[in-house]
Structure 1
């Protein structure tokens, strides 16, 4: 994946403290924080997408490889009880801190990002991709159709279902009785989560209310073997 170029962008793995600092600065801007750095950064591979014309960082995310037995060390495990996934015997990776410069509006950035993710998954034999997918803000009323859609169509298989751990959660699967308006639901679905769902992704039955990040987030998993073949072809087409 090192040196991957597509259109106006190139993909690199963070190789030095300056790269990581650039990623942390972009994350802080996107998440509205003074600073965004944590103990997980040194454990992750940082993927940076830079604009060829001026080398500006326009997108970044990080990948943390884990086994099922190690899942309690993940970022997500701070918020979800993931005991069931400890039995997962394939290679897994946690994808996190995904962000795109809010001042740069170009759909090609997301395409390149997903191409980079696909290259990482292929190169490392990953079988399960997971992470936290975030809704902006903490008002659940803004997203009821989206949550109703998640309940109706996208809940995790019972054998992998994350349990409640965080002190403040919205148990949408238990509380919602409404039939979702599919159009409204998809419009309110975060773009990253929408892409996960198109790949056959599944989610926890509750959302964590994260006041520090001002988000609602759901645990999200994508089993690579279950991605529809047509979707795999589209993802791999990006990396040629």
Structure 2
């Protein structure tokens, strides 16, 4: 089990240098645009902090997460992984103020090479990631995390731009597979018996892509027999993010994990690039060109 202490803290200046180097300081770096909404990587420490405030608004104020006192005082959701990730933003240019005031959605992206040099993946504190990576030594993985959108922007356009950004980023960096935690609200898995059972019976990753929750955290998702699971009803109560992953062609790991700090029940989503539905590749473009420029 990975510990957050393995990650070495950086000064604000060092973090800023890394962010600017990754995002391409001095260039527009736009990954997509729909109307007044744009998606790109954060370009500065100030933009990362603004994204962390958006995360605080969603995870703490809306969803009831209980974070460390230092986090609560700053009113930003942050941890040591933020300094080694790229931060995908959705910005509404119609809003008044600086870019930091226009951020309405965000995703945290962590490539395998960065994770291996700085302590590992965030998901490894809940799921057995290493065996999955070991089975695919020739593939490049990327972790998706901390996905959130402000309530008034939870529309198809915003979701499309987030995926446009993810897809463009994955293509640019030669990513072969994405994975990350996706959450159900609350820490009572039985409250989501129908949806979790559907995932267990119909979307569980097998063979080379199998991955499991850490044994000491493992909560069975097999709560209802397959014949008792109504697929239509299960999908109707599925969190939108999980449902979106499934439409793309994603699979889920074995077992859920209760995250009491964030007041969620987590599942691990695994999405090999080769498994992405052809209709979505065609929609966003094999070169991620649909909403670019």
- The TM-score, its normalising length taken from structure 1, stands at 0.91
From 74, 81, 105, the equivalent of 1:59 is 105
The structure carrying a bigger strand percent of its residues is 1
- Who is 1:160 aligned against? 209
Cα-to-partner distance string for 1:156-181 (whole Å, 9 max, x where unaligned): 123332233264432113x4325211
Cα-to-partner distance string for 1:165-214 (whole Å, 9 max, x where unaligned): 264432113x4325211122112211111111111111111110000000
Matched, 1:2 2:43: no
The answer as to whether partners of 1:48 and 1:59 remain within 8 angstroms in 2 is yes
From 155, 165, 173, the equivalent of 1:106 is 155
Report the RMSD for the aligned CA atoms in angstroms.
2.2
Matched, 1:12 2:40: yes
From 232, 239, 259, the equivalent of 1:190 is 239
From 224, 227, 231, the equivalent of 1:176 is 224
- Who is 1:115 aligned against? 164
Where 1:80 maps in the other structure, the secondary structure is coil
- How far apart are 1:83 and its partner, in Å? 2.8
Where 1:194 maps in the other structure, the secondary structure is helix
Q: Is the radius of gyration larger for structure 1 or structure 2?
A: 2
- Who is 1:47 aligned against? 88
Matched, 1:23 2:51: yes
CA distance in 1, matches of 2:145, 2:261: 16
Give the length in aligned residue pairs: 239
The answer as to whether partners of 1:80 and 1:165 remain within 8 angstroms in 2 is yes
- Who is 1:77 aligned against? 124
CA distance in 1, matches of 2:182, 2:154: 20
Q: Which runs of 5+ in 1 are unaligned?
A: none
- How far apart are 1:142 and its partner, in Å? 2.4
- The TM-score, its normalising length taken from structure 2, stands at 0.76
